[in-house]
Amino acid sequence: MKYLGKADPQMERLIKLEQKRQAETLMMIPSENIVSKAVEEAAGSCLGNKYAEGYPGRRYYQGQEIIDQVETLVIERAKKLFGVPAVNVQPHSGSPANFAVYTALLNPGDTLMGFSLKFGGHLTHGADLNASSRYFRSVPYETDKNGYLDYDAIEKLAKKEKPKIIIAGFTAYSRILDWKRFSQIADEVGAYLLADISHVAGLIAAGVYPSPVPYAHIVTTTTHKTLRAPRGAMIMVTDIGLKKDPDLAKKIDKAIIPGIQGGPHMNTIAAIGVALKEDSTKKFVKYAKQIIANAKVLSEELKKYGFYLSTGGTDSHLILIDLRNKNLLGNTVAEAYEKAGIVTNRNSVPFDPNPPFYPSGLRLGTPGLTSRGMKEREMKKIAVWMNQIVEELMKIKEKKKYTMDEEKKKEVRKEIISQSKIIPNIKKEVLALCKKFHLKTSY
C-alpha cells in the first residue's frame, strides 16, 4: 500500500494481517465473498468525498454532474440484470433496506409476517429485539420438522393475522423458495410480497435460482453476498408492484431519504455498479453454476460421513448442518474449524433445543471457495477434514464426560479443542490448498 504505509503504518499492518488471514483460510461463511480489485478500486475512490443527498437530477447540494451519471449508470445496470422497472441503489446495507420498505408501506403497529429467525429467517424479518418487531406487529412463520417451509401453514397464518407485508427470504435455508405460492398467499390477504433475495441474488442474476421478480411487489437484496459486490443493498420495485401501487417506487425513494438515511455512499454505489457489470457476463453464470455444484457435492460428502443436514441437502450455495446427532454445540465445531483454517459460523437449526448464542447447528456455503476457483475435488477434501475434526472432538468430549451445559463455557471448549492432534495437521493442508487457489484479483 503506497500511501497508507507511510501515513498510518499501524492501520496498514492490521489490513495486511486481515489480507493474510483471508488468503490463508477457507472462507465458508455463506454470506461472504471476495470482490475483484476493480471493485475495490471503485470502492476506495474519490467518490466517497462527495455529499449527494437526493436522487439524480434532484439533489440538495451542488457539484452533482458526475455523481448523477454514476448513480444512473448503476441503476440502469441493476434494472437490466434483474428485469425490473425501478431500483433504489442507496441503502447503506440490507437491514436499512428492509426497514425502509416497512416504513414506506406500514404505519407503526401494523402487521408484518416473515420467516422466524430461529428457523432460518433474518433478524430484520420481524425477530424479537429488532426494530421490525418493536415498531410493527410481527407474526413469524416457521418450518416443518424436516426444516422445509410449510406453505399450507403459512397460508393459514396469513389468513388469520392479515399482514400488510409478507416477507419471503432467508439467511439459513438451503432450498428454493416457491415464490408463486408466496404471491398467491399474499394476494389472498391483500398483502405486499417482499422478496429478500440477499443470499441468492447472484444466483438469480445468473439464472441458476428462480427469480421472484414475476411474483413479488418489492425485492430487496444485499450486494455483498453471492452478487460479489461491496457491502451495500438495493431495493427493486417490480412491474406487478407498480401495478398494485403506481406510487410504490416513489414511496420507497422517500422512505430512504428523507425517511431513514442521509447522503448515499457514492463510492460504494459505483463499486456495486462495477460488480453488476461483472455479474452480467457468461463467466459469472459459470461461476454461479459452480457455486451450486460445489455446495451439492459438499453436502453429499458430509451426509456420507453421517452429518445430518437440515432439509437433507441444498439447492443453493448454503448448507445448514444440524449437529445434534454429534452431541456437539455449533460453537465448539466452529471454533475448532477456525483453528484449522476452515471459517464457518454457528447457527440455530429448526426446533433447536439450545439458545441462539449456543446453537446446535453450523451454517456454511461455497461462494468464497468458488471465487478462488475451487471445484468438486476440493469440496471432497474439505468434507474429509470437517469429518475428521468432528469425529475427534466427539471422542475427546466423550472421554472427558463434558455435559452440554459445561460445553457452553469458553474454557471448556478451549480445553476440548486444545487436545486435538489432528487440527495442526489439517491446518497445514488447508494452507497448502489456499496457496494453490490463491485469492484472485480479477474476474
Ligand X SMILES: Cc1ncc(COP(=O)(O)O)c(C=O)c1O
| Active site (catalytic) residues | 51, 53, 196, 222, 225, 231
C-beta of 145: minimal distance to ligand X in Å? 23
C-beta of 349: minimal distance to ligand X in Å? 16
Residue whose CB is less far from ligand X, 96 or 273: 96
Q: At what angle do helices 376-400 and 410-418 cross, to 10 degrees?
A: 110
C-beta of 124: minimal distance to ligand X in Å? 5
Residue whose CB is less far from ligand X, 227 or 274: 227
Asked if 349 contacts 333 with a C-beta cutoff of 8 angstroms, the reply is no
Q: Mention every residue, 6+ apart, whose C-beta is less than 8 A from residue 208.
A: 285, 288, 289, 292
Residue whose CB is less far from ligand X, 123 or 274: 123
Q: How far apart are CA 307 and CA 322, in angstroms?
A: 7
Residue listed under C-alpha cell 408492484: 241
Residue whose CB is less far from ligand X, 64 or 345: 345
Residue listed under C-alpha cell 456437539: 328
C-alpha R_g of the chain: 22
Residue whose CB is less far from ligand X, 169 or 368: 169
Q: What element of type H or E holds 306?
A: none
Q: How far apart are CA 329 and CA 337, in angstroms?
A: 13
With CB atoms as reference, the residue minimizing the distance to ligand X is 94
DSSP letter for each residue of 156-202: HHHHHH--SEEEEE-SS--S---HHHHHHHHHHHTPEEEEE-TTTHH
Give the number of other Cβ atoms within 10 Å of residue 170's Cβ. Answer: 25
Supply angle C-alpha 363, 434, 208, rounded to 5: 50
Residue whose CB is less far from ligand X, 231 or 303: 231
C-beta of 34: minimal distance to ligand X in Å? 17
C-beta of 196: minimal distance to ligand X in Å? 5
Q: Binding residues for ligand X, per CB under 6 A?
A: 31, 93-95, 98, 122, 124, 169, 171, 196, 198-199, 222
Q: How far apart are CA 425 and CA 143, in angstroms?
A: 39
C-beta of 91: minimal distance to ligand X in Å? 9
Nearest to 110 by CA among 64, 171, 166: 166
